[in-house]
Amino acid sequence: MLTLPALPADTGLNLMQRLEEIAQFSEGGPGVTRRPFTAEHRRANEMIATWMRQAGLEVRIDAAGTLIGRRPGPPGAKTLLIGSHQDTIRQGGKYDGIFGIALPILVLEMLRERSLPYAVEVLAFADEEGVRFPTALMGPRVLAGTFDSANLQKTDKDGETLAAALADFGGDPAGIAAARRDPDDLLGYLEMHIEQGPVLESLGLPVGIVTAICGIERWTVELTGQAAHAGTTPMDLRRDAFAGAAEIALAVESHCRETEGLVGIVASVSVLPNVPNAIPGKATFSVELRASEDSIREAAAAAISEKVEAVSARRGLNYSLTKTYAQKAVPCDPWLRGTLARSLVQGGFRPHRLMSGATHDASAMADLCPVAMLFTRCRDGLSHHPDEAITAEDAQASVACLASFLQMLDPD
């Protein structure tokens, strides 16, 4: 096994301290509110740029407002991209996004004197959450060449266009197309992120390797029966749309419980008439499925459609099914995943694999190059919340894994 230099024991604490410091750049509490292209974003970027320079990185900002710190490689070497987003939702936490920026910069500072056979760039994306403008994942989409320039004319609640906010920030709306990266120059993209779920905590593991960012599909289901008096209609003559919906909801739940790599929910339920003494004549609800593989999701959608049909037939209901949204799963790259697994083993951690149930910058980066993600345990699985928390020990474990990963990654 490769011998790696011992990691300073306080690196996790240093990372926690940096995350604490940058959390002050917030529009106000509770929690952190940092929207893209604002004064808070500008001050956060100044701090990130300082960290980058301290790590020996060359700092620039691209046309989309992504702050980039580059460590050059040997002549002709390809580049590994590592990044995440600096922005938060309103009253978000101190870790979602920014963790994946502060961490690699600190690791590159530690590895400053060690040679690597490739270049590295740390990317601090401006806008992942889509809180200020009705667009999201702007930075990675610009790099991948999948950004729709029509979005530049979209406005925030004060009527300012994305183009104006970006230009004022030091970005370059006219240079968006030219900011696209050449996949031939890239080894891939790695994103370190808090898990935002309870899996690692329930397993007692500090980190986990993402297999795929889930694919998503959503349906609206409408069941129509017969509204009638709840006292005078015998039980066997009822056509109760809500009872049909409830049966389908339980079927969705049990199907997802029994299927590895699949989660699903029935929600957004509305019932008519919604009164205690009338049989519901109509029930409308959403079904959402998320799966690590598209084939799993498609099979589940087919099984649930059959269930809707069967329940409706037995209960004398009419039904309609409308697909309202679909997004393909993004599988993580086997080579990057394999190297992550070796780096976890090197650190003495079980290389547990898990799906990402949430979308990330990596989702859009997958249109550009191979992607991988490493999740870090968060307290109570909580995120998008002021109480979002990780421990210094888990921060240290994450630092150790990335340091090993960077030294093990062999581009040849």
Shortest distance, position 87 Cβ to Zn ion, whole Å: 9
| Identity of the residue, 97 or 225, whose beta carbon is nearer to Zn ion in the bound complex | 97
Does position 96 interact with Zn ion (CB under 5 A)? The reply is: yes
Among the listed ranges 97-105, 132-140, 284-292, 314-322, the one in contact with Zn ion (CB under 5 A) is 97-105
| Identity of the residue, 96 or 394, whose beta carbon is nearer to Zn ion in the bound complex | 96
| Identity of the residue, 343 or 356, whose beta carbon is nearer to Zn ion in the bound complex | 356
| Identity of the residue, 194 or 245, whose beta carbon is nearer to Zn ion in the bound complex | 194
| Identity of the residue, 69 or 97, whose beta carbon is nearer to Zn ion in the bound complex | 97
Shortest distance, position 194 Cβ to Zn ion, whole Å: 8
| Identity of the residue, 73 or 97, whose beta carbon is nearer to Zn ion in the bound complex | 97
| Identity of the residue, 11 or 376, whose beta carbon is nearer to Zn ion in the bound complex | 376
Q: Quick one: 192 exposed, middle or buried, by C-beta within 10 A (0-12, 13-18, 19+)?
A: buried
Among the listed ranges 57-65, 91-99, 172-180, 373-381, the one in contact with Zn ion (CB under 5 A) is 91-99
Angle 337-180-291 (CA atoms, 0-180°, nearest 5)? 40
Q: How far apart are the first and last CA of the chain?
A: 18
Shortest distance, position 92 Cβ to Zn ion, whole Å: 9
Q: How far apart, in whole angstroms, are the C-alpha atoms of residue 147 and residue 153?
A: 13
Shortest distance, position 217 Cβ to Zn ion, whole Å: 22
Among the listed ranges 50-58, 73-81, 95-103, 319-327, the one in contact with Zn ion (CB under 5 A) is 95-103
In 10 A of CB 323, how many CB atoms?
12
Torsion of CA 244, 250, 251, 252, to 10 degrees: 110
Among the listed ranges 72-80, 90-98, 142-150, 277-285, the one in contact with Zn ion (CB under 5 A) is 90-98
Angle 61-64-68 (CA atoms, 0-180°, nearest 5)? 30
Q: How far apart, in whole angstroms, are the C-alpha atoms of residue 57 and residue 378?
A: 29
Shortest distance, position 97 Cβ to Zn ion, whole Å: 4
Q: How many residues bind Zn ion (CB under 5 A)?
A: 2
30 cis-preceded (ω within 30 degrees of 0): yes
Please provide the DSSP assignment of 105-119 as one string: HHHHHHTTTS--SSE
Shortest distance, position 85 Cβ to Zn ion, whole Å: 6
Shortest distance, position 81 Cβ to Zn ion, whole Å: 16
Shortest distance, position 137 Cβ to Zn ion, whole Å: 11
Would you say 227 and 278 are in contact if contact means Cβ atoms under 8 Å apart? yes
392: which residues sit within 8 A by CB, 6+ positions away? 12, 13, 15, 16
| Identity of the residue, 121 or 361, whose beta carbon is nearer to Zn ion in the bound complex | 361
Two structure tokens written together for 62: 């691209």
Does position 97 interact with Zn ion (CB under 5 A)? The reply is: yes
Which residues form the interface with Zn ion (CB under 5 A)?
96-97
